[in-house]
Every structure is written in C-alpha cells, then in structure tokens.
Amino acid sequence: MSLRLKLLFPLVMVSLVVMAYLEFVWVPHSLETQKQQYIEETERHIGTIIEGLVPLMLTSQLDLVRENLDELRKKNAEWTSILLVNAQGKQLFPLLLGAPAQTSKGTNDQVLEKTIQLYGKKLGQLTVHVDYTSRLKQLEEQHRRLRLLLVTTIALLALIWSMTLEAAVVRPLRRLSEAAGQLAQQHFDVPLPNGGGDEVGRLIASFAAMRDSSRQYRDDLVREIEEHKQAEEEKSGLNASLEQRVIERTAALEEVGRRTQELELLRELGEAIVSELDLDRVLHLVASKARALIDAETVMVPLLNPDHDGYYYAAADGANAEDIESSRFPIRVGMCGWVLSHQKPLLYGEEMEWHYDEKTHWEHGTQSALLVPLFGKRQIIGGISGTGKKGGGSFSRRDLELLTIFANQVSIAIENASLFQEIKQLVNTLEQRVAERTAALEAANKELEAFSYSVSHDLRAPLRAIDGFGMALLEDYGAILEGDGKVYLERLRANTQHMGELIDAMLQLSRVTRAEMTIQAVDLSALAEEVATGLSSPEQERQVEFQCEKDVIAQGDPRLLRVVIENLLSNAWKYSARVEHPRVEFGVLSTGELPGAEGQPVYFVRDNGAGFDMAYADKLFNAFQRLHSAKEFPGTGIGLATVKRIIQRHSGHVWAEGVPDAGATFYFTLG
C-alpha cells in the first residue's frame, strides 16, 4: 500500500462514518421532530378555531360556521379535509350531498380529532385531516443539498491533502529512494530533490552527506584494491623467480645437509656428554656414543695412570664390556698402549709402523680396530678405542676422522668431570675436616669454659684463704712477730692480691675471646668520659687533664669496647702518674691522616707519660709481656693482650707509637 493511500485511508473512513451518521440517524430524527412540531402547531390552531366555533354553534349560526371552515380550508393547503359533526352526529360541514367526504390517504396524512364542548356538554366534534408531505419534501430537499455540499467538501479536502503529500513528501521520497537504488549500483551522481527545512529536507541532507562519505570510502577502497592488485602482481613475479632460485638452492643444500647431519649427530653426542659432570657417567656415555658413531662392536675408553706408566679401561661399551672395564695394563701392552705412548691415532690394518709387546686377550683375532688419543688441556689423558666393525669389514678413514672430532669434543668433558670429581672429593674432605674441627673447637671451648670457671672459683678460694689467714695472723699475733716478720706477711698479702688480679685479667682475656658479640652503634666519647670520671675519682690524689673528642660513634660490641677503653685509659692514667702535668687525650683521626689506615677512622688514646722504646713495640700486645717493672708501674701484662683480642674480633687493628719519657699513643681501627 502506498504512503499516499495509507495517509488517505483514515480521512475517507472518517468521512464515510460522518455521512452514514447523517443519513441514517440525524436526517430521520430531524424529519420526525419536524413532523411532531407541525402536528402540535396544527392542534393549537384547531384549538383556537374551536373556541371561535363554540358561540356560533350555540347560536346555531351554521352558515357562519361553514363560511369560517371554508375559509380555513382555503388558507391551509395541507388540511385535506375538515369534518364537523354536532352532538347528534349530524354532519354540519362540509355539507354532504349524499356522498361521503373525500379523504386522501398519504403517508404523512394525520387525522386530528377535537371534541367541541362547553361546560362538559358536548356540542360536536371537529375532525381535520392534515397532509405534511409537501412540507417534509421541502425539508428533505434541504437535507439532500447539505449532503451534497459535505461530500464535495470532503472530496476537495482529500484532493488537496493528496496533492500536498505528493509534492512535499512522496515525490522527494521517491526520488530519494531512486537515488538510494542507484547508490547500490554505485551511481553517486543522481540528482537529489531539493528539500525544504522540514524533516524530509533534513533526511535528504543526511542522505547526501552519507552518499558523499560513501563515495569517499568507495574511492579509497578502489584505490587500495588497485594498489593491492599491483603488489600482488609484483609478488607473483617475484615468487616465480624465487621458486627458481629455491630449486637451485635446495639442490645445493641437500648436499650440505647430508654433511651437516653427520656433524650435527657428532655435536649432539658431544653436547650430551659435555653437560654431564659425573665422571663415570661421562666415560660410559663417551663409550656408548662413540660405538654408535663408528658402528663398532666394542668401544673402550682407556685412561692413563697419573704416572703415565700404564693405563686402565675406565669405561667400555658393547661386547665383553664387563670383562674389559677396570682392567689395567702397563703402557707397553696392547694397541692402546701404543696409541697412548705415541699420542697418535691408529687404524688397525693400515700400513703403519707400530709395535707392542703383547696383545690383550680381546685383541687376539680382532680384524679391525680404530684408536684415537684423548687430549686434555695440557697433555694426553687417554684414548678411545673401537674394535670390530659391525657386520664385518674394516673401519674407514672417515670413521677415524669422525672419532677424532668426537674425541676432541668429549676430552674437555672428561677433563671437566674428573676435575669436578676431584673438587667434590676435596670439598667432602674439607667439609668433614671442618665438621671435625668445629667439634674439636666446641669441645675445646667447653673445656676452656670449665677451666676458666674452675680458675675463677677454685684458684681464688685458696688465695683468699692465704690472704685471710695472713691477715688473721697479723691482727691476732702481729704483736709477737719480730723483725721482718710483719713485712713478710705484708708481702705475702700483696702477692696474693696481685695473683688475684692476674687471675681476673686472665679470665677477662679468655672471656673476651669467647663472648658473643652484638654489633651496634657505640658512643666512644661518652664511654671514654665515663671511664675517665671513674679513674679520676676524688680518692685519686693527682689530677689528670683529660681531653675527649665529642660524638665519636663507632660500630661494635658495647661491652667489649668498654673493656678496650678501660684498659687503654687506665694504662694512660697509670703511665702518666710520674709526670708533673699528666695529660690524656681520646679522639679520632679522619680518613687519610694516618698512613696504613686504609680509609677507616682511626681512634686513639694519647698520654704524655712514661712512653716506651719503639724497638719493643711489637711485644706490647703479647700477654704477660711488660716493658716496665712491677715496681715502676704495677700491672698484669694482660690488659693490652685483651685489647688486641677485642680489636681483632672486630676485624680491626691496634698499634702503638711511643717515645721513652715523652708519652705513648695507642691507635685502633674497627672493622
């Protein structure tokens, strides 16, 4: 169904419904109403007539009655007949002359009867026949004309509607659709209808835009296809020449391939072996792969003794392999012996100057043999020997060539593996020795601990007893001791106390060696200040000038470093005792100020005391070594040994510089 029909259809339908309504409902109803109206009008008219008739009838002026009625009939054309009878039923009008009054019977003929009475007394009856046909006909005529007008209007409207639609929508759309159809055929130049500013106009504009971009796209596509085609043609041309070249090359490659395959096999064999580090497995792999390579019935791998005076079969593969393996021979025996001592390959059966003292038993009856030496990095290490070509016959020069290449490849693997084995054995021994040493060390440590505990407890108890009883003797019997008796007892006590100090110092030395270290940042300045404060307590008579550099922070075990500082400072205090203005200094030298410090900070403790002769500088740090007599400066001779032990445990160095009677400086580094 076309768009026009679709749009027209509702219009026509509505018109038909309106017309049907007019025809079948409205017109009949209107006619009926009109008729009723006429009847009512006529009845009222008749009523007024009767009022006029009453006096006339009472007075029996029948002439006047008739005259009036005649008049009436003439005036009202629709009144077909008027019949007046009196109370007795006698017809008064029209005058009957024997014949009944004519009555016309139409469809719209209506009989109206009215009784004439006065105060309930019937005077007569008036009957009027009315025919409205002519009146109604007039009305119908009017209706007909109205309908005609309506139909004409509707038809006219439909026509205008249809034409407008045609001009504004249908025609542009048709042309658009034609253009679209043409577009499908790739005609991009079909003219488009001129659109107004309405929806159709916009549609056309969109279509035009779409068509333009399609055209652009088509053009691009066409160009691309062109290029593609061109490339394709070039390619097919190239392909042809390439094919030719491929054919030529393939022929050449096939030749190379045959050779490569051989070498590739060789390389694969070699690689499998090179990646192995277990010597025994390497040797067995060498034997089995070599056997596959040269198609031998048996392949043996003889290795030279370290002294080169004999060889042994380290591995064998194939017939008699189990018999052969591990057997040893002097260097003069067998073909292997010849190859190993001459360091040359051997192809048995070829003309060659060679000699051996006796054959190994599996060499008897051998028809064919092939032997090549194995060279390590520096010297010959052994060889590979194949006997009995599979399926009879002899080994060829090509076999010899292959086996030589193979031997060169695997010799490194064999050497590596034997080195690896050696290292492994060494490592094992080493590990075992480390474990043994560790156990021994642990035991020694335990012993040392028990020893020092015993020293700490058992050695001091008798000393205390000696001192105690010595003192008891002095206190209780001092009065009766004569001469040097008291002095001897004092010396006895002084010695026990010195021994107590020695024991303490030794214990500290051994403890310093064993103590677990916790490395952390330690404020050496604060430590030195604290120790110095203890050393110059008020009990000390003399005053030492102590100069301490601020904020010297070092990494180390705080407790052990305290022992270092304590020992060095108390030494400085002690040895500067005889100077008039004792002066002790603690500080750090920045990197590079002192040779030999290797960029580490160097801490130092300096005094202006007794000093020492540099000739003995190396003895300073040994336990029980003293450069001064106990009479001069008391001491245990263990303090600096303890310092050295601690500094060593911190991976540092300690050393000293001194000038007799001019002071000493002790330096140390930490890690």
Where on the chain is the footprint of another protein (CB under 8 A)?
452-453, 456-458, 460-465, 467-472, 493, 496-497, 499-500, 504, 507, 511
Min dist CB 466 to another protein, Å, is 9
Radius of gyration of the chain (CA): 74
CA 593 to each of CA 417, 603, 653: distance values in angstroms, whole numbers, following the listed order = 52, 11, 16
Min dist CB 462 to another protein, Å, is 8
Are the C-beta atoms of 172 and 200 separated by less than 8 Å? yes
Are the C-beta atoms of 475 and 526 separated by less than 8 Å? no
Closer residue to another protein in complex, CB, 463/623: 463
Min dist CB 580 to another protein, Å, is 32
Closer residue to another protein in complex, CB, 474/594: 474
412, with CB counted inside 10 A (0-12, 13-18, 19+), is middle
Min dist CB 441 to another protein, Å, is 19
Are the C-beta atoms of 410 and 417 separated by less than 8 Å? no
User: Tokens 């003439």 identify what position?
Assistant: 74
Q: How far apart are alpha carbons 248 and 347 in whole angstroms?
A: 39
123, with CB counted inside 10 A (0-12, 13-18, 19+), is middle
| Cβ contacts of 42 within 8 Å, gap of 6 or more | 78, 110, 112, 128, 130
Are the C-beta atoms of 94 and 101 separated by less than 8 Å? yes
Min dist CB 624 to another protein, Å, is 19
Closer residue to another protein in complex, CB, 492/579: 492
Closer residue to another protein in complex, CB, 443/465: 465
Closer residue to another protein in complex, CB, 437/464: 464
Closer residue to another protein in complex, CB, 237/468: 468
Q: How far apart are alpha carbons 473 and 494 in whole angstroms?
A: 15
290, with CB counted inside 10 A (0-12, 13-18, 19+), is buried
Min dist CB 450 to another protein, Å, is 11
| Cβ contacts of 274 within 8 Å, gap of 6 or more | 409, 410, 412, 413, 416
Min dist CB 547 to another protein, Å, is 33
Min dist CB 514 to another protein, Å, is 10
